[in-house]
Amino acid sequence: MEIVAFQVTSCIDECAEIKKYGLHNLQWVLSNDTNLNRFLKNNSISFDIKSKMMYIGDIAYDVNYEKYNGLDVISKRNEQLHKIGHKIYYDFQINAFLFCKDIYDYSTIHEAPEFLYTLLLLNEATKGIDMKWKNMCKPYVVKFRSKLKDFAYFTFYGNESEYERDSQDNWSGLRRLLISRAVESAFSDSASQIFAYMKPHTVIAPENIIEYVPAEKWRKDVLKYFGEE
């Protein structure tokens, strides 16, 4: 079974990098010669993913978020380092939508990656990093297809036991769920957003990307369908 989802992103190269390498998780993006990684380095920010360290200029920061778990009293800086580490080592998978009525209503992911909003709260050195990116980039929607096995179970199920039971039933529950959500979305009766979470190390290969659409065009086309231009 293949499922179609889409990611809202922003880039400086009209999606050329994604067309070449596909969609990858945050760890890969911060470990390779990517637009985001070069941008951060140009702003004196770099990461050693294996060592769980972040560098701003000559200052090293420990971003191993597990070290901050369970502490009752920690400084605001350490709290933010915990959030940065959480984003890199826990919540680093590709996140997307199965449905979103207005892509501009969900956060500001069309302006800058969520990771930059986590970074900007650390200190003066990272303040405004999101606006620098926004001023360089244009927003796009990247529509792709992927196998069911590439989606995290909690995209569709409340727990892993439900996932396993439905897999033994040839995904009959999921088929009903997808049809129901499609009908609800078509008539604007669903939630404003239905999220798609990929498994942590899933890669969306370029050949599985269906189209790249400027975000403003995508938004207008969807809102037009609901009579809300």
pLDDT confidence of 193, banded at 50, 70, 90?
confident
Q: What is residue 23's DSSP assignment?
A: B
Average pLDDT, the chain: 91
**What is the rounded CA–CA span in Å between residue 137 and residue 28?**
20
Between these two residues, 64 and 212, which has the higher pLDDT value?
A: 212
Q: pTM of the entire structure? A: 0.89
Average pLDDT over residues 92-105: 93
Q: Number of structural domains, the chain?
A: 1
pLDDT at 133 over 80: yes
What are the backbone dihedrals phi and psi of residue 182, each rounded to the nearest 5 degrees, phi first? -65, -45
Domain that holds residue 160: 2-225
**What is the rounded CA–CA span in Å between residue 64 and residue 155?**
26
Residue 44: C-alpha distances to residues 39, 97, 126, 183 (Å): 9, 32, 9, 48
pLDDT confidence of 76, banded at 50, 70, 90?
very low
pLDDT at 107 over 90: no
Q: What is residue 219's DSSP assignment?
A: H
Continuous segment of H or E residues that includes residue 3:
strand 2-11
Please give the order of strands across the beta sheet that includes 193-197. 193-197, 95-100, 2-11, 138-147, 209-214
Q: What is the 3-state secondary structure (H, E, C) of 100-120?
A: ECCCCCCCCCCCCCHHHHHHC
Average pLDDT over residues 58-82: 76
Average pLDDT over residues 187-202: 84
